[in-house]
Chain A
Amino acid sequence: MRFLDFFRNKGGSAPVARDRLQIILAHERATLSANPELLATLREEILAVIARHMPIDRDKVNVSMDRGDDVSTLEVEVELPLEGGPNPLHVAAE
């Protein structure tokens, strides 16, 4: 929760609910209606670029998302099979 919210909320949970809804609905209206498969497409294309340069195990790929009110983070974690153990490469996009 942001600092200012602390004063605005007065202990009620409804303002938190409103904020959560505003954020998630803005995202659903913007990205999902335009292209519901955006995340899958992004992941595929990012992986294709990496695969052009090195072999990757598609099972060892993790994509995580955090939708914020100003910025969202998409994190693609790819485990690269190099000698000397796993060496995760992070590709973060905002």
Chain B
Amino acid sequence: MTMAKVIVVTSGKGGVGKTTSTAALGAALAQTGKQVCVVDFDVGLRNLDLVMGAERRVVFDLINVINGEAKLHQAIIRDKRLDNLSLLPASQTRDKDALTEEGVAGVIEEMRDKFDYILCDSPAGIERGATLAMRHADIAVVVTNPEVSSVRDSDRIIGLVDSKTQKAENDERVEKYLLVTRYDPIRADKGEMLKVDDVLEILSIPLLAVVPESQDVLKASNLGMPVTLGSPNSYAARAYTNAARKITGENVSVEIPQDTRGIFSKFFARKAA
């Protein structure tokens, strides 16, 4: 088996959709047939288990594995819907200091030959938790909402990806992609929200996908299903599915959600980035 690609899902700013996107992208990658594990790095505030619908089944977590209290295979929870999708939960009771640099390195190393993709759900912020989550990344998915503080924090995070990751320290390149979430085409049209082009121009990294503000996402979280499993035909699910295909190397054009109230409703595809 080939060595896994490690993907960090990061943002700087909190609440922009990292955990939602980790679950949806992870499921979408698994739906293409890849072996996928999503890892919750938000120690003390785990939520990925809830969004994945596995909260009742958590026994051990990342910190237990790091401390040698459980083996990796004992802590990993296999998804009930997709057997090539797994979750490594974060600890709910320890604090961020329980994550150690060597511990994280050891766990990622052990996982590399067992999966095709390892997705690390980063905590918010720019401190230790966030830098440890991105430490081993080959790919960084920068989750951004089209508003000023989120874009500014994303810029900051991109700087960290370019300096604090192992690849950066070895003069190698981490692939960076922009994932715009909670995009409201009506408000963007009215000039009340930054447009995708504005965000792209400011951050100047390639666009992975644009996920609209969507009830389907909320509903999927309520049910404990990544949106690509819960509402596979929704626009949000399509955006994540196309993002997953792009990550696997397919040449997919990025769709920008359009205002659907007009006569020519629907969305049209557009080349971007």
Q: Which residues of A contact B (CB under 8 A)?
A: 13-14, 16-17, 20, 23-24, 27-28, 32, 36-37, 39-40, 58-59, 61-68, 72
Q: How far is the CB of B86 from chain A (nearest CB, A)?
A: 13
CA–CA, A31 and B221, complex, Å: 25
Does B32 reach chain A (CB closer than 8 Å)?
no
Query: Which of B22-30, B57-65, B155-163, B171-179 contacts its partner?
Result: B57-65
Q: Which residues in chain B, 71-115, are within 8 Å of chain A measured between CB atoms? A: 71, 73-74, 92-94
Which residues of the partner chain B approach A24 to less than 8 Å between Cβ atoms? Answer: 50, 55-56
Which residues of the partner chain A approach B60 to less than 8 Å between Cβ atoms? Answer: 39-40, 63
Which residues of the partner chain A approach B223 to less than 8 Å between Cβ atoms? Answer: 13, 16-17
CA–CA, A40 and B74, complex, Å: 11
By DSSP majority rule, is chain B's interface helix, strand, loop, or mixed? helix
Say whether B93 contacts A36, CB under 8 Å: yes
Say whether B55 contacts A14, CB under 8 Å: no
Closest to A27 in B: B56
Does B222 reach chain A (CB closer than 8 Å)?
yes
Which residues of the partner chain B approach A66 to less than 8 Å between Cβ atoms? Answer: 56-57
Which residues of the partner chain B approach A37 to less than 8 Å between Cβ atoms? Answer: 69
Q: Which residues of B contact A (CB under 8 A)?
A: 50, 55-60, 64, 69-71, 73-74, 92-94, 218-219, 221-224
Instruction: Provide 17 A-B residue pairs closer than 8 Å at the C-beta atoms, listed in order of the A residue.
Output: A13-B218, A16-B223, A20-B50, A20-B55, A24-B55, A32-B92, A40-B60, A40-B64, A58-B71, A59-B73, A61-B74, A63-B59, A64-B57, A65-B58, A65-B59, A66-B56, A72-B56
Q: How far is the CB of B5 from chain A (nearest CB, A)?
A: 27
Which residues of the partner chain A approach B222 to less than 8 Å between Cβ atoms? Answer: 13-14, 16-17, 20
Say whether B57 contacts A40, CB under 8 Å: no
Which residues of the partner chain A approach B218 to less than 8 Å between Cβ atoms? Answer: 13
CA–CA, A73 and B195, complex, Å: 50
Say whether B56 contacts A40, CB under 8 Å: no
Q: How far is the CB of B226 from chain A (nearest CB, A)?
A: 14
Assuming A24-B55, A65-B58, A68-B56, what are 8 further A-B pairs, CB within 8 angstroms? A13-B218, A16-B223, A20-B50, A23-B56, A27-B56, A32-B92, A36-B94, A40-B70
Closest to B218 in A: A13
CA–CA, A59 and B68, complex, Å: 12
CA–CA, A10 and B221, complex, Å: 18
Closest to B58 in A: A65
CA–CA, A28 and B58, complex, Å: 11
Say whether B59 contacts A39, CB under 8 Å: yes
Which residues of the partner chain A approach B221 to less than 8 Å between Cβ atoms? Answer: 17
Say whether A28 contacts B92, CB under 8 Å: yes
CA–CA, A13 and B50, complex, Å: 14
